């Protein structure tokens, strides 16, 4: 019984997954969902968010966000440039933004309290778009699928050996362990990678990469108290700022070259 179940889970996980390399050279496990499924999930999540949240009707702010998105998208690989990117501006005080597979970008009006200029807004949106082009959503869904299948097998084995109570305990506490040990650390890795990809993208689009440092300093000042890094899905802000500062010198020539080539966004 145990051997058969273990064999099934191994076959299922190997069949669903593939190894690829992220834009920073990191090894990724993907393939749990197709691009079509990802795009459908992104469109569904975006539609649900728009239905629940209040959309801003401020034409100037909407045009501002769209301008920055357009400048960034113009520098993406062809497979992402060919997507019709859609943006939505939500009337929400929390400074936040997101990007989803299928070319969906959402921005809270609260972001303007920390992103003081177009370059800082480009740092936010470059980071979020960086998640998409780094296939982070696909990676996390693939990992979650593997985690859930594994927990199901463990629960079945515990139930066969010790009864339903043991199976329930494995599923309950196993989920907590997977969240803390597997999913969250991976998410922090993705966040750091999106910083690298987004800062590079903004420089290629003609936005000053040094402004990413200013943005996260503003975010850190606005955030106040926060949970410890090991319980968070985001890197420690101080570490994040140091890493962004580290990469500025190498990206300044990329920024200058973009400006010389005429990529000079004037979004606001």
Per-residue tokens: 114: 């920390």
Q: Which of 147, 202, 157, 155 is nearest to 179 (CA)?
A: 147
Per-residue tokens: 1: 């019984």
Residue 112 carries which DSSP code?
Answer: G
**192 contact partners, CB below 8 Å, separation of at least 6:** 235, 240, 243
Q: Which of 75, 86, 92, 128 is catalytic?
A: 128
> Does the annotation count 128 as an active-site position?
yes
DSSP element (H, E) containing 258: helix 237-260
Cβ burial, residue 136 (10 Å; 0-12/13-18/19+): buried
Residue 85 carries which DSSP code?
Answer: -
Q: Which residues are catalytic?
A: 128
């Amino acid at each position: 019984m145990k051997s058969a179940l273990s064999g099934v889970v191994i076959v299922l996980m190997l069949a669903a997954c593939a190894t690829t390399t992220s834009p920073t050279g990191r090894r990724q496990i993907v393939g749990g969902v197709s691009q079509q499924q990802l795009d459908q999930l992104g469109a569904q999540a975006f539609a649900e968010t728009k239905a629940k949240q209040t959309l801003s009707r401020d034409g100037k702010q909407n045009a501002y966000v769209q301008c920055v998105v357009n400048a960034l998208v113009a520098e993406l690989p062809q497979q992402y440039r060919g997507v019709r990117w859609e943006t939505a501006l939500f009337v929400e005080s929390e400074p936040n933004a997101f990007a989803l597979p299928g070319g969906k970008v959402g921005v809270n009006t609260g972001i303007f309290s920390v992103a003081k200029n177009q370059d800082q807004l480009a740092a936010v949106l470059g980071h979020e778009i960086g998640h998409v082009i780094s296939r982070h959503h696909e990676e996390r869904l693939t990992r979650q699928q593997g985690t859930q299948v594994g927990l199901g097998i463990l629960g079945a084995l515990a139930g066969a050996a010790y009864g339903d109570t043991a199976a329930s305990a494995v599923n309950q506490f196993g989920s907590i362990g997977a969240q803390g040990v597997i999913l969250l650390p991976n998410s922090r890795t993705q966040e750091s990678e999106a910083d690298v990809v987004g800062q590079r993208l903004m420089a290629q689009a003609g936005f000053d990469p040094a402004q990413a440092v200013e943005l996260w300093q503003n975010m850190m000042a606005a955030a106040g108290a926060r949970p410890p890094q090991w319980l968070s899905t985001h890197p420690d802000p101080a570490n994040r700022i140091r890493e962004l500062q580290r990469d500025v010198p190498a990206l300044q020539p990329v920024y200058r070259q973009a400006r010389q080539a005429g990529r000079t966004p004037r979004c606001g």
